[in-house]
Copies of this chain bind each other. A is one copy, B any other.
């Protein structure tokens, strides 16, 4: 029977042919939407049979799929990437391979944990068929939460820290939105590379708790927006003047961030939570030689598919996760059936640090 299955074009799952035949009638749960709108209203949980993986394809069982702000914005129609309807939500996940289409795959085998690295695949589903070449194998020692959230935030932080200025140990990076999922990754990457990360957050009743949490991750200092305006940390030489500012807020907060930058410093914008533009004083451009650029992980991934830089990045990130130097952001695993709660609360900060929801199936 196993041989028959192979002839029919299926890799077997272990040596038990029953396992193989079982996946051929898999029913998947899928979160679909047919129009833009508030996610809780437009998303629908559907059940459908999963087709068998063809040559070059792989069937995975999803182990975890996070809800990122961009996923919510996409469903709201506020994101520049517009899916064709009906669309499946989500852009990240980790899954386990349950079957490989005819001919098998040279690099993947049943049981492997994998993450898709293309975006727009629609990851909010319990099972999915992907092309084998869209998947990256995850080392066995990487946890579900870390693997499910690796391709967006840690990669965004990694590239922003690597690609715009050359940071040496002891240099300073300043970032706002330091409590965001990306902010948490940036703090940990800075710590791993001996770079001082000064983080800015909005003032809040639990500021002390949040500061402790982020310093525990490795932040050199955490300031409120108000404290940033009058800080002498850089003037007094407690930290070197920042070479790099990472901005996901915009408005006055970004302006204050840029004021702390060293001569020839760079501000990289990757988000705009305040919905206000970045204001750039003319003198800071001409006389201080500051540069203002943007970063979008989706574009980087498209432009660097299959590049050695990408492999190097994931190897380093997996290595950091393995030695406990890079943890998943504060998160809550939530049952796929409770998606309404998850998508409704995904953009609201609850508690002292933003909490990322990760669907489990």
Tell me whether A284 is interfacial, beta carbon within 8 Å: yes
Tell me whether A294 is interfacial, beta carbon within 8 Å: yes
Which residues of chain A from 233 to 285 have any CB-CB distance to chain B below 8 Å in the complex? 250, 269-272, 277-285
User: What's the Cα separation between A250 and B80 when bound, in Å?
Assistant: 27
> What residues of chain B lie closer than 8 Å to A291, measured between beta carbons?
291-294
User: What's the Cα separation between A322 and B289 when bound, in Å?
Assistant: 34
Residues B282 and A280 in contact, CB atoms below 8 Å apart = no
Tell me whether A299 is interfacial, beta carbon within 8 Å: yes
User: What's the Cα separation between A296 and B282 when bound, in Å?
Assistant: 11
Tell me whether A75 is interfacial, beta carbon within 8 Å: no
Q: Which residue of B lies closest to A299 (CB)?
A: B289
Tell me whether A286 is interfacial, beta carbon within 8 Å: yes
A105-140 CB contact bits vs B (8 Å, 1 = yes)?
Answer: 000000000000000000000000000000000000
Which residues of chain A from 290 to 304 have any CB-CB distance to chain B below 8 Å in the complex? 290-296, 299
Residues B281 and A277 in contact, CB atoms below 8 Å apart = yes
> What residues of chain B lie closer than 8 Å to A299, measured between beta carbons?
289
Residues B282 and A271 in contact, CB atoms below 8 Å apart = yes
Tell me whether A85 is interfacial, beta carbon within 8 Å: no
Given contacts A277-B281, A279-B277, A279-B279, whether A296 and B287 have CB atoms under 8 Å apart is yes
> Which of B269, B278, B280, B286 lies in contact with A295, CB distance below 8 A?
B286
Residues A269 and B286 in contact, CB atoms below 8 Å apart = yes
Residues A282 and B250 in contact, CB atoms below 8 Å apart = yes
Given contacts A291-B292, A292-B291, A294-B290, whether A278 and B283 have CB atoms under 8 Å apart is no
- On chain A, the number of residues with a Cβ less than 8 Å from chain B's Cβ atoms is 27
Q: Which residue of B lies closest to A255 (CB)?
A: B277
> What residues of chain B lie closer than 8 Å to A294, measured between beta carbons?
282, 284-291
> What residues of chain B lie closer than 8 Å to A290, measured between beta carbons?
294
> Which of B80, B280, B288, B289 lies in contact with A277, CB distance below 8 A?
B280
> What residues of chain B lie closer than 8 Å to A296, measured between beta carbons?
286-287, 289
User: What's the Cα separation between A280 and B277 when bound, in Å?
Assistant: 5
User: What's the Cα separation between A294 and B264 when bound, in Å?
Assistant: 10
Residues B280 and A272 in contact, CB atoms below 8 Å apart = no
User: What's the Cα separation between A201 and B320 when bound, in Å?
Assistant: 54
User: What's the Cα separation between A277 and B276 when bound, in Å?
Assistant: 14
| Residues of A in contact with B (beta carbons under 8 Å apart) | 80, 250, 269-272, 277-296, 299
User: 26 A-B residue contacts at CB 8 Å?
Assistant: A80-B283, A80-B287, A269-B282, A270-B286, A271-B286, A272-B282, A277-B279, A278-B280, A279-B280, A280-B292, A282-B294, A285-B293, A286-B294, A286-B295, A286-B296, A287-B294, A288-B294, A289-B294, A289-B296, A289-B299, A290-B294, A291-B291, A291-B292, A291-B294, A292-B292, A292-B293
7 A-B pairs with least C-beta separation: A285-B294, A272-B282, A292-B292, A286-B294, A269-B285, A278-B280, A80-B287
Known: A80-B287, A270-B286, A288-B294. 16 other contacts (CB 8 A): A250-B282, A269-B280, A269-B282, A269-B285, A271-B286, A277-B279, A277-B280, A277-B281, A278-B279, A278-B280, A278-B281, A278-B285, A279-B280, A285-B293, A286-B294, A286-B295
